[in-house]
């Protein structure tokens, strides 16, 4: 681990411990909730595909009743420039609505990962924009002993286009099953691409994300514990594998 990453981890942990108790998720009398948190990960893997190395990933969320707005980002430690060009920077904005206790959630997301220095964030012209607009539909089975969730995401507008400028409608399907073993919360994941899509480097149906994530916590004080996680990820389509470690900072 290089000096920059060591200093970043120390600064983030120190800031979190100092501010704990002052910056916590809040809920007012009308049921409006705000939440702030951030993950530090050893590498950033998206849907089974490597994006960049060690990264900090903050999130700011607002929710009321079944509606939520979330801003999520990822920034690596390469600085302004890297050996591969622009340093990684991603900003995702998601609006979602959960239909009561039905287990059904509908979402619309704006995904932008053009990188630090790319600028032109506010360029939304169809054939020029770097934004990817994606619709999602997720459902969790209403079974306490078998809480399997299924989600389908499709990019319906933005940069996801073929050489002729036509929308690819790239889609990704994911199944998640949470369970626990002693003090560790586990999630098994299987992600797949249903048809040919250049966005995921597939020529047809393909499995791109098989993963197992484990989460637990390290007790720091009587009132504060640090959640840590490790995730093993395999991408059969690209014949690639990853092992990610991270921790979460939240009130």
Q: What is the DSSP letter of 88?
A: P
pTM of the model: 0.84
User: What is the C-alpha separation between 2 and 8, in angstroms, rounded?
Assistant: 10
Mean pLDDT by 10 residues, the chain (251 residues): 42 40 48 93 96 94 95 84 69 96 94 88 92 97 91 96 91 97 94 93 95 94 90 96 95 80
Into how many domains does the chain fold?
1
* Distance from the Cα of residue 246 to its chain's centroid: 13
Query: What is the structure's pLDDT at 10?
Result: 43
Query: What is the structure's pLDDT at 14?
Result: 42
User: What is the C-alpha separation between 199 and 234, in angstroms, rounded?
Assistant: 18
Q: 190: domain CATH number?
A: 2.40.160.40
Domain extent, residue 188, equals 3-249
* Distance from the Cα of residue 206 to its chain's centroid: 21
User: What is the C-alpha separation between 235 and 164, in angstroms, rounded?
Assistant: 29
């Amino acid at each position: 681990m290089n000096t920059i990453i060591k200093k970043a981890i120390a600064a983030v942990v120190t800031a979190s411990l100092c501010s704990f108790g002052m910056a916590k998720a809040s809920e007012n009398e009308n049921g409006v909730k705000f939440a702030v948190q951030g993950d530090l990960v050893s590498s950033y893997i998206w849907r089974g595909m490597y994006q960049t190395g060690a990264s900090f990933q903050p999130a700011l969320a607002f929710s009321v009743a079944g509606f939520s707005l979330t801003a999520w980002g990822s920034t690596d430690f390469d600085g302004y420039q890297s050996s591969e060009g622009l340093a990684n920077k991603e900003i995702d904005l998601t609006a979602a609505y959960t239909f009561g206790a039905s287990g059904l959630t509908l979402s619309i997301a704006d995904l932008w990962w053009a990188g630090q220095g790319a600028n032109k964030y506010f360029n939304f012209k169809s054939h020029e924009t770097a934004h990817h607009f994606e619709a999602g539909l997720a459902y969790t089975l209403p079974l306490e002993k078998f809480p399997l969730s299924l989600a389908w995401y499709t990019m319906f507008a933005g940069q996801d286009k073929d050489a002729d400028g036509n929308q690819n409608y790239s889609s990704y399907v994911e199944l998640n099953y949470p369970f626990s073993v002693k003090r560790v919360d586990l999630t098994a994941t299987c992600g797949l691409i249903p048809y040919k899509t250049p966005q995921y480097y597939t020529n047809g149906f393909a499995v791109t994300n098989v993963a197992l994530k484990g989460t637990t916590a390290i007790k720091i004080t009587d009132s504060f514990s640090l959640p840590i996680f490790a995730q093993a990820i395999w991408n059969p389509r690209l014949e690639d594998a990853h092992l990610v470690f991270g921790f979460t900072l939240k009130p």
